[in-house]
Amino acid sequence: MTPHWLSASEAARAFAARTLSPVELLTALLARIDALQPSLHAFIRLDAEAAMDAARSAERELGARRVRGPLHGIPVGVKDIIDVAGLPTTCHSAILRDNIAATDAAVIAKLRAAGAIVLGKTATHEFAIGGPSFDLPFPPARNPWNPDHHPGGSSSGSGAGVAAGLFPVALGTDTGGSVRNPASCCGIVGLKPTYGLVSRRGVFPLSYTLDHVGPLTRTVADAALMLDALAGHDPADPASAPTEARLFGRDLGRGVRRLRIGFVRHFHETDLPAHPEMTAALEEAARILAAEGADVRTITLPGLTEFGAVNRVILTSEAWSIHAPWLRTRPGDYGQLARRRLLPGAFIPAGDYVGAQRRRTQMIAAVEDAFRDVDILLCASSMDPASRIEDAAETARTYPRQARTPFNVTGHPALAMMAGLSRDGLPLSLQFVGRYFQDAMVLRAAAAYERATDWHTRRPQIG
């Protein structure tokens, strides 16, 4: 396998076997970036020189038999709302074009401690709330399966870069589905961990009570590897949970035999009827999981329309509290999409916000009640393949057609992954959801599905 398609786990094994070095891997990735960045726009800022210095250091340490951690020498892409010391955190916006981070975000410090190499800052939607926009300081990222289509967002460059072989793993953030959307559109794995499991210190906020940080990878094993490095209590993040959970990949080989999987069919059948190819992929996934020994049963949760309304009221209200000073004084420095999505927060009454939080508590109880009878949920992620990036009307229609926001509202761990290809050659997807802090169980189910199919071996024909 060419170096740029190696997973992080495979690269780490190659380093240990001395069949590949960190410098050789990074050199191959930089060549690939040089070839594909002009068409994919995955990066806002490539930090090639610092990355190569870090790769040389990692190589020397390997020669001295010193390994910092399981990600030693592994390059990672970082969504540009996450602070990396010495680099701009622009949030893909003119507002913060010159905002140089003084310190690393907590997740970057953890990745460095595990041996990872920061390759650069990846494209996002403006402040993680806009959409694919052409009126910003940097162009939007594009989908490596077909660059005429969008890659999902808002962690768009992270998703596109992992799918295109520009880096094996990346960081994104997820407030209404922004790790899982690019994973769905780009045919990779995107994990939104349990709320509070991963620190958000040093990440520019969108919604204090909905924000998560999570990994994007090409394999489930790499998602577990990344979560091992990222998870842990951070007293400087008020939402951080007092847990030191580790070994998230411990059950990847156990399969799904005798697991009770609740299939939330109404999400894609009646709430937001999915594209027929997406529906077929979900039904086939349920069949495969049953053939692997799972007890797949249909269950019902609150409807997507209500989940979406609760998410919008909370997100928009909290985002307004963050952006109000700039929106009052510098509205023209925002792109049109972000400005249009942020301004309604000024007109949401406090009573509506409180009411949404109260309904949120009831929705959490409903999902918790479902988990008394099942171990894992299976449901849609996106309802449609990715639209053409310049078709603003179709993108606006299809972007909200998804089943990711329920699990930002509730905070349960959720993973999106590839479940097929459309007739047009674009990825189809599914989603696994688990109980609080049972992220390892979600990864276990995803790994079983991954082994039973070959979708994770498919690669976009680009470059």
Interior angle at CA 151, CA 400 and CA 451, nearest 5? 95
Q: Using CA atoms, how far apart are residues 105 and 111, in angstroms rounded to an integer?
A: 10
Rounded (10°) CA dihedral 255, 257, 259, 265: 90
* Residue type at 421 in one-letter notation: L
376 closest CA partner among 293, 259, 463: 259
Q: Using CA atoms, how far apart are residues 458 and 213, in angstroms rounded to an integer?
A: 26
CA–CA distances in Å: residue 373 to residues 263, 362, 377, 414, 417: 12, 18, 11, 18, 24
* Residue type at 441 in one-letter notation: M
Q: Using CA atoms, how far apart are residues 362 and 426, in angstroms rounded to an integer?
A: 37
443 closest CA partner among 271, 141, 217, 105: 217
Q: Using CA atoms, how far apart are residues 305 and 295, in angstroms rounded to an integer?
A: 28
283 closest CA partner among 302, 268, 293, 303: 268
What residues act catalytically?
79, 154, 178
123-142 in b/e form (b: 16+ CB < 10 A) is bbbbbbbbbbbeebebebbb
Structure tokens at 30: 């930089």
